[in-house]
Structure 1
Amino acid sequence: MTIIIQKVETEDINPVLDIWLNASLQAHAFIPAPYWQQQLIAMRDLYLPLSENYIIKENHTVLGFASLLRSEQVLAALFIDPAQQGKGYGVRLLNFLKQQCEQLHLNVYAENTSAVQFYQKQGFKMTSPGIDQNTGHAELGMSWCRP
């Protein structure tokens, strides 16, 4: 089993979008599903092109991805296929990005407690509460700095 992390290529876009939608629906059940379905085109045409996108693959299968806004050191997205969660792929992707950045910042929905706990375990500290303008749900700003 060879696990690789690499930049997203054209043929990876559809698996990335599938993972994003399925993981978003699962992790954010507190937001109505049509919201996520309506965001799919913006994700493909706006958000992904603005970011540096990396996938984690095993045996040519995309298992998850991360999107980095490098100039702002913002982790814009980290999603693992729901069927593959809990197997360490998210930690591997995050460690890959931590090797390249002095610090990382992100926002996560407060109601997504498993993600909040995941980031805390990975050394992220809460910085500021806020409200996501698109959904009206509470979110938490979190940051990690290289020791």
Structure 2
Amino acid sequence: MPIRPRHPDDNPRLLEIWHRAVLATHHFLSEADVDALYGQMRDLYLDAVAISVYVGENGQLAGFIGLTERHVEMLFVDPTQHGQGIGSRLLDDARARLGELTLDVNEQNPAAHGFYRRYGFHDTGRSETDGQGRPFPLIHMAI
């Protein structure tokens, strides 16, 4: 199976995937925002959640999902492999293990919101700010 738990030595590749995916999809973030978030991903977030990785046919990591209990905290796929079903497979694996899931998606990232809706998530609410109180509205979703 191409999905396995994260190993600590996966972190450099996960940071690379995260950075490339954020640059490709989070156009509402400034360069300073991305730099600050990169440090937080490296120093805090990767170790704060349970991460599963998707290993591509070439043996290289192509995406990952991070969960806190049944809440999807992060889902990132290498932008060169968007649209190939990797995100759906990671969600399928999480649902098979955990059942119902929730997540928050940036309102300013309509492609991600559309992906989650196509997958089957539905909107359950909205917040004016992100989890750090910044002016990046979140849409709360569940499946």
The TM-score, its normalising length taken from structure 1, stands at: 0.90
Percent identical: 31
Give CA deviations for 1:19-64 in whole Å, capped at 9, x if unaligned.
Answer: 1111112111111122112222211221111110011012220100
Where does structure 2 lack aligned partners over 5 or more consecutive residues?
A: none
Counterpart in 2 of 1:48? 46
CA contact under 8 A between 1:21 and 1:37: conserved in structure 2?
Answer: no
Counterpart in 2 of 1:87? 84
Q: Deviating runs (4+, > 2 A) in structure 1?
A: none
Give the Cα separation in 2 of the matches to 1:33 and 1:23: 14
Instruction: Give secondary structure in 2 for the equivalent of 1:77.
Output: strand
Counterpart in 2 of 1:69? 68
> Number of residue pairs matched?
140
Give the Cα separation in 2 of the matches to 1:142 and 1:46: 24
- Superposed CA RMSD in Å reads 1.2
Instruction: Give secondary structure in 2 for the equivalent of 1:126.
Output: strand
Structure with the largest fraction of strand: 1
CA contact under 8 A between 1:25 and 1:33: conserved in structure 2?
Answer: no
Give CA deviations for 1:52-89 in whole Å, capped at 9, x if unaligned.
Answer: 0011012220100000101xx11000000011101111
Where does structure 1 lack aligned partners over 5 or more consecutive residues?
A: none
CA contact under 8 A between 1:31 and 1:135: conserved in structure 2?
Answer: no
**Paired letter, 1:89:** I
CA contact under 8 A between 1:107 and 1:142: conserved in structure 2?
Answer: yes
1:113 to partner: Cα distance: 0.8
Matches within 5 A, 1:12-27: 12-27=10-25
Instruction: Give secondary structure in 2 for the equivalent of 1:45.
Output: helix
Give the Cα separation in 1 of the matches to 2:48 and 2:133: 18
Give the Cα separation in 2 of the matches to 1:6 and 1:68: 14
Instruction: Give secondary structure in 1 for the equivalent of 2:104.
Output: strand
